[in-house]
């Protein structure tokens, strides 16, 4: 079988797992989980340094950088303007010009603000960023983001951290069918079955943090998720059977012994 | 000089951004600096003078999804 690689812009990826770096019980567990996940892309957030503490709480000290692509997010932004500002700060780190546009307007749902997300994507693409917007699972909106120059589009399965799984598989499937850039399901996944379902719908990858970091055994769950991605992808490529209303015997209806 | 660093007013003995970084012991750490809305590249820290009530943001990467 030909090696199943994919691309974000010019960057070739083998793994289809983008893993988040928040909420892990310890840096050691996080490092092990990342290793088991096989992920090549890690996500981060940008925050103020805690000046009251002398301890270095930067996430980067726990990550050996060379092998990873960094995907900082604009979490905390509620407008396009704020997201653009955070994106510029992230790029000034010199570590990455990739940016996950994440703009939430509602604290309870953290659902993305689609209009601000589109606006920020347009601006950041013009500024030369590789833009991966996190957005709602609306097929038309996803298309608009692609047309605005997004390198990949990342519709949510469900609100961030809920683990509810894919609330609208019909939409995710339609988004994939229409897309010319990679579609990555970002947020709301909870278990391997959700992940396998996403991959069977034909998405190029998944982005997860909470379902791994908050699992009882994050390292075990990272591996389980990696296997689910592989299984789901292979199933998608292999073509599942269509659903039928009634039974069809595996050995046919000819030459029955009892007739 | 009175500066607003990460949202808090601070009286610092600082003439440049480099002095501010030194004050908080952040040399060698992966810090990005914004002063009055403008990103200051690391090479410019020693030469960028601070002004009274300048809004300085010292940010870095933390865990996130």
Q: Which value does ipTM take for this structure?
A: 0.95
Within a domain: A103: yes
Whether residue A49 and residue B58 make contact (CB cut-off 8 A), yes or no, is yes
Within a domain: A245: no
**String of DSSP letters for A217-237:** SHHHHHHHHHHHHHHHHHHHH
Residues facing residue A227 across a β-bridge = none
In this prediction, residues A169-184 reach a mean pLDDT of: 98
Taking every pair of Cα atoms in chain A, the longest distance, rounded to a whole number of angstroms, is 85
In this prediction, residues A225-246 reach a mean pLDDT of: 96
CATH of the domain at B9: 3.10.20.30
Whether residue A93 and residue B34 make contact (CB cut-off 8 A), yes or no, is no
User: Residues A144, A125: contact at Cβ < 8 Å?
Assistant: no
Question: Angle at the Cα of A17 (from A142 to A209), degrees rounded to 5?
Answer: 85
Within a domain: A255: no
Within a domain: A1: no
Task: Please report which confidence band the pLDDT of residue A26 belongs to, taking 50, 70 and 90 as the band edges.
Answer: very high
CATH of the domain at A147: 3.20.20.70
% chain A with pLDDT above 90: 87
Query: Hey, what are A181's tokens?
Result: 């850039």
In this prediction, residues A88-116 reach a mean pLDDT of: 95
Task: Please report which confidence band the pLDDT of residue A100 belongs to, taking 50, 70 and 90 as the band edges.
Answer: very high
Q: Hey, is A27 helix, strand or coil?
A: helix
Domain range for A130: 6-238
Q: How confident is the prediction for chain B on average, in pLDDT? A: 96
SS3 labels along A69-117: EEEEECCCECCHHHHHHHHHHHHHCCCCCEEEECEECCCCCCCECHHHH
* B26 part of contact set with chain A, CB < 8 Å: yes
Residue A65: the pLDDT is 60
Q: Which among A154, A145, A143 has a CA at the least distance from the CA of A119?
A: A145
% chain A with pLDDT above 70: 97
Within a domain: A253: no
Q: Is the pLDDT of residue A62 over 90?
A: no
Whether residue B62 and residue A20 make contact (CB cut-off 8 A), yes or no, is no
Residue A2: the pLDDT is 73
Give the rounded distance of the alpha carbon of A118 from its chain centre. 18
- Count of C-beta atoms within a 10 Å radius of residue A174: 18
Total domain count, chain A: 1
Q: Which among B58, B63, B65, B52 has a CA at the least distance from the CA of B24?
A: B58
Token pair 């500002």 is at which residue? A85
Within a domain: A138: yes
Burial A188-207 (b: 16+ CB within 10 A, else e): bbbbbebbbbbbbbbbbbbb
Q: Which residues of A are catalytic?
A: 100
Domain range for B53: 2-59
* B57 part of contact set with chain A, CB < 8 Å: yes
Within a domain: A246: no
In this prediction, residues A86-91 reach a mean pLDDT of: 97
Residue A102: the pLDDT is 98
Q: Is the pLDDT of residue A235 over 90?
A: yes
Q: Is the pLDDT of residue A54 over 70?
A: no
Within a domain: B64: no
* B28 part of contact set with chain A, CB < 8 Å: no
Task: Please report which confidence band the pLDDT of residue A86 belongs to, taking 50, 70 and 90 as the band edges.
Answer: very high
Q: How confident is the prediction for chain A on average, in pLDDT? A: 94
Residue A57: the pLDDT is 67
Residue A38: the pLDDT is 96
Cα–Cα distance measured from residue A238 to residue B23, given in angstroms and rounded to the nearest whole number: 60
- Give kind and range of the element (H or E) at residue B60: strand B55-63
- Which pTM was predicted? 0.93
Residue A105: the pLDDT is 86
Within a domain: A19: yes
pLDDT tens, position by position, A34-47: 999 999 999 999 99
Total domain count, chain B: 1
User: Residues A168, A139: contact at Cβ < 8 Å?
Assistant: no
Q: Between A and B, how many CB-CB pairs are < 8 A?
A: 95
Query: Hey, what are A202's tokens?
Result: 């034909």
Contacts with B60 from chain A: Cβ below 8 Å: 46-47, 49, 58, 60, 93
Whether residue B32 and residue A93 make contact (CB cut-off 8 A), yes or no, is yes
């Amino acid at each position: 079988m030909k090696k199943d690689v994919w691309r974000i812009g010019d960057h070739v990826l083998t793994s289809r797992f983008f893993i988040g770096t928040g909420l892990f019980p310890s840096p050691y567990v996080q490092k092990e989980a990342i290793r088991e996940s096989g992920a090549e892309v890690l996500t981060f957030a940008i925050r103020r340094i805690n000046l009251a503490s002398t301890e270095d709480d930067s996430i980067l000290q726990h990550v050996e950088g060379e092998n990873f692509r960094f995907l900082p997010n604009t979490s905390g932004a509620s407008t396009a303007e704020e997201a653009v500002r955070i994106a510029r700060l992230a790029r000034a780190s010199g570590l990455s010009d990739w940016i996950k546009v994440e703009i939430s307007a509602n604290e309870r749902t953290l659902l993305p603000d689609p209009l601000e997300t589109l606006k920020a994507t347009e601006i950041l693409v013009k500024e030369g960023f590789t833009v991966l917007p996190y957005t709602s699972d609306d097929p038309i909106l996803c298309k608009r983001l692609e047309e605005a120059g997004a390198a990949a589009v990342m519709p949510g399965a469900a609100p961030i951290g809920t683990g509810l799984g894919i609330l609208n598989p019909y939409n995710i499937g339609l988004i994939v069918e229409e897309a010319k850039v990679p579609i990555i399901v970002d947020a709301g996944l909870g278990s391997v079955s959700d992940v396998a379902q996403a991959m069977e719908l034909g998405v190029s990858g998944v982005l997860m943090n909470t379902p791994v970091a908050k699992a009882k055994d994050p390292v075990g769950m990272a591996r389980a998720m990696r296997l689910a991605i592989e299984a789901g992808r292979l199933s998608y490529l292999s073509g599942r059977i269509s659903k039928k209303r009634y039974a069809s015997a595996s050995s046919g209806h000819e030459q029955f012994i009892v007739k | 000089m009175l500066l607003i660093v990460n949202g808090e007013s601070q009286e610092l003995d600082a003439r440049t951004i480099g002095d501010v970084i030194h004050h908080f012991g952040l040399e060698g750490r992966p810090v990005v600096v914004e002063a009055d809305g403008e990103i200051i590249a690391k090479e410019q820290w020693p030469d960028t003078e601070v002004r009274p009530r300048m809004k300085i943001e010292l940010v870095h990467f933390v865990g996130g999804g």
